[in-house]
Chains A and B, each alone.
Chain A
Amino acid sequence: AQSVTQPDIHITVSEGASLELRCNYSYGATPYLFWYVQSPGQGLQLLLKYFSGDTLVQGIKGFEAEFKRSQSSFNLRKPSVHWSDAAEYFCAVGDTGFQKLVFGTGTRLLVSP
């Protein structure tokens, strides 16, 4: 089965600073990779996804992610964080064997003034 690791439980970033959230996956073939964001008490919203092709993927709200096969990583980045970006971020991989999304444990982003 596939697995996803988000090594950072919490990250605090100053408003206006750059952000990188880490995601590592375990899968033999090219994975389907997703980043979702969840604001407190809300459902999940898709930020971006990667299936194939260009390894740098652009998403909504100014986010981007880069797929690096050699490192089994799919890190999420944003050049300048806004206070409204404070939320929980989940990386997920599509498990084709079990036909389901496997989520990482999430990274909580705090934005300081």
Chain B
Amino acid sequence: DTEVTQTPKHLVMGMTNKKSLKCEQHMGHRAMYWYKQKAKKPPELMFVYSYEKLSINESVPSRFSPECPNSSLLNLHLHALQPEDSALYLCASSQTPGTQETQYFGPGTRLLVL
């Protein structure tokens, strides 16, 4: 099983709302990633968790708050977002951290901020 699941599929939120995106994998992977993808653009790395610890934060605004409660689960908490944060948010995982590792992507959450 090489599946990464993400919920919800779609999310509409106002600028004052608080919401969370969820990502789950049961492949025993120890590295998990959040990417942001704007339309017609490549994915941009936001965060990397390595063995449940935050290892990379690509200077992401604090209105995005990641959390890794356990090795299978990754959350992205959203608060006071801006319309320009509307995008496809992709989660990925790999067996271990490292750029030689294959990353397995989920289908993404399409977020619209009004």
Contacts and interface: CB of A to CB of B under 8 A. Distances in A.
Nearest to B4: A43
A111 B4 CA distance: 29
A103 B99 contact: no
Contacts of B41: 105-106
Interface string B45-89: 100100000011010000000000000000000000000000010
Interface band, chain B: 20 to 34
B100 A94 contact: yes
A45 interface: yes
Given A100-B48, A100-B56, A44 B99 contact: no
Interface of A: 32, 34, 36, 41-46, 49, 51, 90, 94-96, 99-101, 103-106
Given A95-B99, A103-B43, A105-B42, 13 more contacts: A41-B88, A41-B108, A42-B108, A45-B105, A46-B102, A49-B102, A96-B99, A99-B48, A100-B45, A100-B48, A101-B103, A105-B41, A106-B41
